[in-house]
Copies of this chain bind each other. A is one copy, B any other.
């Protein structure tokens, strides 16, 4: 939790595609909240990382970008990537490997080793599951963000030949595993304090602990790190006797996310498993139009945290005012909490929720959605 009275400086990075549109809305809301709540915030809008910057400079961001970003307290990113050409054959386009690289550079380079993606199904949100109990979905997926399947150590031997072999190494450290799992238990403890009562009723009916951490592995097929995760999980769990324990294999977890997502509380997963499970959880709780995300280092504020909606740059609808800014605004709320402005964040979240209900069934432009949300903030 940041200090509420400290002046904070934010970098707004619109990025590509609908990132530009949703960032414009986030800036409106930030300005409104800063003025209304007298928040000690200032920000700068950066034109990188972006495909446009690449077009001009041959790279996604300046050479000293990693140094430059360290002067900020938080980075708010719209979306990256422009796979083109879709309808526009002249569009300057880059392979994902280049356009999305800044994301991974920030996560790894700034040691933002935890990614948090809450999933709650708000009233009025799109519903993909038939079961009415889906209304009770309220989970927090915590994803490892710095190692594991994403170390990108590998390559291609005999590239293009019939006997080619491609390898990719997965590397998991006990240090990385332990801090991740401890963070998940702390998050569960915090959730128990903050809204344990709401869950208690539900859980006591089911004979469960009111707070729970579910560990994800694929230890039956990938034992080396599956066992490391399992052992560290058991060790760290001893520090949190009030928290219930659960383990799911990643494949079974995907099924249970569909079958009974309301039974999950905090879920902790590796980089790749977390990537998959957070996208799935986002869809089950209303889709990408509503899914916020942050990349943080829970131990240190030396480097800025990175806030980005789970959605991508959606080139197919970019520039048409069709993007839903809600995910970006819920992401902005996560950032406000991080910077110590929980009350403003809570109001913003409530306004997004109220607007969802009030506008159900309406087709609105990106800025109309924001206008509706600001109305609720004003009220």
Contacts and interface: CB of A to CB of B under 8 A. Distances in A.
Contact of A219 (B97, B169, B219): B97
B128 A127 contact: no
A152 interface: yes
A89 interface: no
A225 B152 CA distance: 11
Contacts of A172: 165-168
A173 interface: yes
Interface size class of A (residues with CB under 8 A): 35 or more
Contact of A280 (B127, B166, B222, B254): B254
A283 interface: yes
Contact of A170 (B154, B161, B259, B280): B154
Nearest to A96: B220
B283 A258 contact: yes
Interface stretch (A57-65, A185-193, A271-279, A355-363): A271-279
A276 B251 contact: yes
A164 B173 contact: yes
A162 B149 contact: no
Contacts of A130: 127-130
Nearest to A291: B255
A279 B259 contact: no
Contact of A175 (B149, B163, B169, B258): B163
Contact of A275 (B168, B225, B251): B251
B276 A155 contact: no
Query: How often does this chain occur in the complex, in copies?
Result: 2
B152 A221 contact: yes
Contacts of A259: 128, 283, 287
A284 interface: yes
Given A174-B161, A254-B276, A166 B228 contact: yes
A10 interface: no
A152 B279 contact: no
A346 B75 CA distance: 58
Contact of A168 (B96, B100, B170, B174): B170
Given A170-B170, A220-B97, A221-B150, A254 B283 contact: yes
A173 B164 CA distance: 6
Interface in A98-154: 100, 104, 127-131, 149-150, 152, 154
A219 B96 contact: yes
